[in-house]
Chains A and B, each alone.
Chain A
Amino acid sequence: MIKKFRIFLNPIEGQEKWLNEKAAEGLRLLKVGRFFYEFEQCKNNQYQYAVDYIGNNSNAQRKKYESFLEEVGINYFEKPLNIGQFSFGKVKYRPYANKGGKLATSWGMINRELLILEKECNGKPFNIYSNAEDKIQALKERRKPHIYLFILFLLMGGYFTFAKRYMLDAAYMNSQSNSFSNSAVLSILLGVMGIITIVRMVQLSLSIKTLKEIGNIQE
């Protein structure tokens, strides 16, 4: 058994590519954790992988999809994706999700935002969605949490600007240096997260645009 640690900036395409590279080297996925992957030895290129985002689904929809995958002979691994969720105890609220998926519970949708699909390699690329329309729809589902995060960052930015303007005097009176460094760190952190979110959102939108242009001509 081989254990590997890995974090992905791009959890869909990046992870997919990495898993297929491992499969080409003769490694088959056994178990997936938050950051850890366990592999076993197999023949080179025996299996192939694809990653699906199902975070907007309800628990019932997820189960239905998983039983369909079993039916058509595809293995799957559930994997967490931590992006823009509020936690209240064991319940997470996802305002961007589709109907029925907004409240995620720990025995339901929490930590099961991604599905890693595995099938025996047949020499052809493993596409979860095989026509332009479905590919566009899948990208739109992935864009939803990014749009939500973007709006959240805008609101937070607005709040801090407002708070700074009207509470500056009080802050200075308390401890001038400390409150400044705190707010600076927070701004930088929010800024970096905000930029990553915007970049991903723009990337997804561009992919959708390209696919739409293709989709007007071919399926």
Chain B
Amino acid sequence: MKDKIQETPLTETALLILLAMYKPNHGYGVMQFVEEKTKGRVVFGPGTLYGAINNLEKKKWITLHAVIEGERKKEYVITDLGKEQVKSELLRMQEVYMIGMEITKLGE
């Protein structure tokens, strides 16, 4: 498997899921986290969330943490590799943000 940091920008979907999984979280929890944090701007469709969780697990950016008995809910948690990915993405976003502020002079 690829253990290197991915250079291309992450999708908003992937980044938000990774952030929601800094604490162990299941699918429904991720949906609630994202809706709450973005104040309803981002609402994940079930197909999108399902596909993204599978892909992130395949890339080993998240890993299965526990299966809650009874409810059959799968909890995932972010891996060290996933955290590295988030950090590099935030730095990239900061760079773009700084360029944007400099050009548009929004901060002044």
Contacts and interface: CB of A to CB of B under 8 A. Distances in A.
Contacts of A70: 72
Contact of B12 (A52, A134, A219): A219
A124 B31 contact: no
Given A131-B13, A219-B12, A71 B26 contact: yes
Contact of A219 (B11, B45, B46): B11
Nearest to B12: A219
B33 interface: no
A128 B46 CA distance: 5
Interface in B55-89: 71-74
Interface stretch (A61-69, A85-93, A158-166, A195-203): A61-69
Contacts of B49: 72
A81 interface: no
Given A131-B11, A133-B11, A219-B11, A68 B44 contact: no
Chain B interface size band reads 20 to 34
B22 interface: no
B51 A72 contact: no
Contacts of B47: 52, 128-129, 134, 138
Contact of B43 (A67, A74, A130, A137): A130
Contacts of A176: none
Interface band, chain A: 20 to 34
B104 interface: no
A138 B26 CA distance: 24
Contacts of A128: 45-48
Contact of B73 (A52, A71, A129): A71
Contacts of A183: none
B50 interface: yes
A67 B45 contact: no
Given A65-B50, A67-B72, A133-B11, A72 B31 contact: yes
Interface string A121-135: 000101111110110
Contact of A130 (B26, B27, B48, B73): B48
Interface in A117-151: 117, 124, 126-131, 133-134, 137-138
A126 B46 CA distance: 9
7 tightest A-B CB contacts, nearest first: A130-B45, A128-B47, A127-B45, A130-B48, A134-B48, A128-B45, A72-B28
25 contacts: A52-B47, A68-B27, A68-B50, A69-B46, A69-B50, A71-B26, A71-B73, A71-B74, A72-B27, A72-B28, A72-B31, A72-B46, A124-B43, A127-B43, A128-B46, A128-B47, A129-B48, A130-B13, A130-B44, A130-B45, A130-B48, A131-B11, A131-B12, A134-B48, A219-B11
Interface of B: 11-13, 26-28, 31, 42-51, 71-74
